[in-house]
Amino acid sequence: MISIRNVSKWYGEFQALKKCSTEVDKGEVVVICGPSGSGKSTLIKCVNGLESFQEGEILVDGISVTDRKTDLPKLRSRVGMVFQHFELFPHLSILDNITLAQCRVLGRSKKKAVEKAVQLLQMVGLAEQQPKFPAQLSGGQQQRVAIARALAMDPIAMLFDEPTSALDPEMINEVLDVMVNLAQSGMTMLVVTHEMGFAKKVADRVIFMDRGEVVEDQPKHTFFENPETERARQFLSKILTH
Amino acid sequence: MFFDWSAIPGALPILWQGMIVTLQITLVGVLVGVLLGTLLALFRLSPSRLLSWFSATYVTIFRSIPLVMVLFWFHLVLIPLIVGLLFPGQRLELRFITALTAFSLFEASYYAEIIRAGILSVTKGQLSAGLALGMNRGQVMRLVILPQALRRMVPLLLTQAIILFQDSTLVYVINLDDFFRKAYNVGNTVGTLNELILFAGAVYLVICTLASGCVRQLHRKLTVLAR
C-alpha cells in the first residue's frame, strides 16, 4: 500500500533522511519510533508530499508521490493525516471541520457529508459536540475530531504524526482507544509515536529511526524482546524503565 | 475674539452633501483597498518571483510617496491621460473619479501589508492540514487561511479605515467638494471661516472618536473569542 524506497532528504548541508526504506501492506499497522530529531515526522510527511525529498521514491497504492504527473491533491485526499497539534480549523464548527473537504474535494452533497460526519463523530464519542468550535473542546476531544475529519474522506491509509505528544496525560488514552479500534477494524496505519503500549497492542511492525536512518524494521515481538542493534536497545531501556 | 456660529444651521444641507462625498470616498477606498490589498498580499506571498516582485514594488512606491502627491499626479496627469485615450475630445468631470482611484490604489498598499501580516500569522500547520485533506493551495488559502487572517486583522483594517476617513480631506487639493471643503467654502462666503473650520474639525473628532471606541470594543470581543 505504501512503499518507501531509499528516500534521502537534505536541509541544505544537513541530511535529515538517509536512504530510508520500508513497506506498509494493506491492513498493516506500522509504528515508527525513535529519539526526537531522528527524522520520523519528516519521513511520514514525505508519504503524502507535505515534505519534499531529493532522492528515492514513495509509492502510495502504486502512485508515485514525486511524479510530476501525479495529482497530488487527489493522492492526499486518499491518505488521511492526523497532526501533533490537531490543526482543526478554528473558524469552523466541529461539523464544518469534517464536512469542508468532503464537499470541496470529494464533491459530496452537504447532506451526505453531514451524515458521514455525524456517523464518525458518534464513532469517536463526540456526537453532541458538533455545533461547537474547536477552542471549546479539550485537546483529546480535538484530536478525536481530527481523526474523524481524516476518516470522513474514506482514506485507504492513515498517517499519524505524534498524535498524543501534545496532549495532557489524562487525555492520551481516549485518543489511543480510537486508534486501537481503527487498527482492529483493518485500517492501514503508519504511526509516529512514543506510545509503546499502543505499539505492543496493535502494531504489526515497529520501525526504529535514529539520525535520519531506519535502524530497525522488525515484527513487534522481535523489536521489543530482542532488538538487533545497541541503539534500539538503549532507546527502549530509556523509555520503558518507568 | 467672538465666535459667530450663525451660518452653520443654514449650511447643514450643503455640509451634508459634502459628508456624502467624504463617506463615498472612504467606503470605496476601504472596499477596493481591501480587495486589491488582498490580491497584492497573495501576490507577495506567491511562489512566482514576478508576482512577488510586482507586489513589493507597488507597495514600496505607494508607501514612499505622500498621498497629496498621488492625488495631484492622478489629477493632473494620469487620469486625464487615460480618459483622453479612452474618450478622446470629450471634457468630463473627473475629480470624483480621480479621488476614488487614487485613494483605492493608495490604500491598497497599506491594506496589502496588514493582510500579509495576517496571512503569515496563521500557522503553517493549517496549510498542511488543508493540503493533507486534498484541497489545493487556492482552496486552502480561500477557505482556511484568509478567513482566519482577515478575522484577526479586522481591528487593524478598521483603524486604517478611520485614517482614510481623515485623509480624505486631502481631496481639497484637487478642488473636490468633500465635507471639509464644503465647510471651507461656506465659511469663506459668509465670512466666518474660523468657525466653520472649527466646526468641521469637531465633526471629524466626534466621528473618529466614536469609531475608534467601537473598534476597541470589537477588538476586545475578538480577543475573548480567540481564547
Residue B93 has pLDDT above 70, yes or no: yes
From A89's Cα to the closest Cα of chain B, the distance in A is 7
Residue A241, helix vs strand vs coil? coil
Chain A with chain B: Cβ pairs closer than 8 A: 60
Q: What is the pLDDT of residues A121-169, one digit of tens each?
A: 999 999 999 999 999 999 999 999 999 999 999 999 999 999 999 999 9
Chain B residues in contact with chain A using a Cβ-Cβ cutoff of 8 Å = 125-126, 128-136, 139, 143-144, 147-148, 151, 226-227
Q: What is the pLDDT of residues B111-162, one digit of tens each?
A: 999 999 999 999 899 999 999 999 999 999 999 999 999 888 888 999 999 9
Here the ipTM equals 0.93
From A49's Cα to the closest Cα of chain B, the distance in A is 9
Strand A14-24 and strand A2-11: the pairing is antiparallel
- CA dist., res. A128 & res. A118, Å (int): 9
- Contact list in A for residue B150 (CB cut-off 8 A) is none
- Which run of H or E residues covers position A60? strand A55-60
- Contact list in B for residue A74 (CB cut-off 8 A) is 134
Q: What is the pLDDT of residues A4-25, one digit of tens each?
A: 999 999 999 999 999 999 999 9
pTM attached to this predicted model: 0.85
Per-residue model confidence (pLDDT) at position B151: 87
Model confidence at B227, pLDDT cuts 50, 70, 90, reads: very low
- CA dist., res. A76 & res. A72, Å (int): 6
Are the Cβ atoms of B132 and A153 closer than 8 angstroms? Answer: no
Give the helix, strand, coil percentages of chain A, each rounded to 5: 40, 25, 35
Query: In Å, how far are A110, A166, A176 from A147, measured between CA atoms?
Result: 20, 15, 11
Per-residue model confidence (pLDDT) at position A47: 96
Q: Output the nine-digit C-alpha cell for A211.
A: 539520525
Rounded mean pLDDT of A157-184? Answer: 94
- Nearest in space to A98 (alpha carbons), one of A80, A73, A78, A118: A118
- Which run of H or E residues covers position B26? helix B7-45
Per-residue model confidence (pLDDT) at position A58: 96
Residue A241 has pLDDT above 70, yes or no: no
- Contact list in B for residue A80 (CB cut-off 8 A) is 132
Per-residue model confidence (pLDDT) at position B191: 87
Residue B1 has pLDDT above 90, yes or no: no
Mean pLDDT for chain A?
93
Phi, psi of B127 (to 5 degrees): -65, -50
End-to-end, the C-alpha distance of chain A in Å comes to 36
Structural domains in chain B, sorted by start: 9-226 (1.10.3720.10)
From B151's Cα to the closest Cα of chain A, the distance in A is 9
Q: In terms of CA atoms, which chain B residue is nearest residue A103? A: B135
Model confidence at B7, pLDDT cuts 50, 70, 90, reads: confident
What percent of chain B has a predicted confidence (pLDDT) above 90?
71
- CA dist., res. B98 & res. B72, Å (int): 9
- Which run of H or E residues covers position A213? strand A213-219
Residue B65 has pLDDT above 90, yes or no: yes
User: What is the identity of the amino acid at A67?
Assistant: D
Q: What is the largest CA-CA distance in chain A?
A: 55
- Contact list in A for residue B139 (CB cut-off 8 A) is 104-105
- Nearest in space to A179 (alpha carbons), one of A144, A142, A223, A222: A144
Per-residue model confidence (pLDDT) at position A153: 96
Query: In Å, how far are A153, B44, B56 from B62, measured between CA atoms?
Result: 46, 15, 10
Which of B128, B143, B151 shows the shortest C-beta gap to A83?
B128
- Contact list in B for residue A87 (CB cut-off 8 A) is 125-126, 128-129
Per-residue model confidence (pLDDT) at position A75: 95
Are the Cβ atoms of B133 and A76 closer than 8 angstroms? Answer: yes
Residue B30 has pLDDT above 50, yes or no: yes
- CA dist., res. B95 & res. B81, Å (int): 13
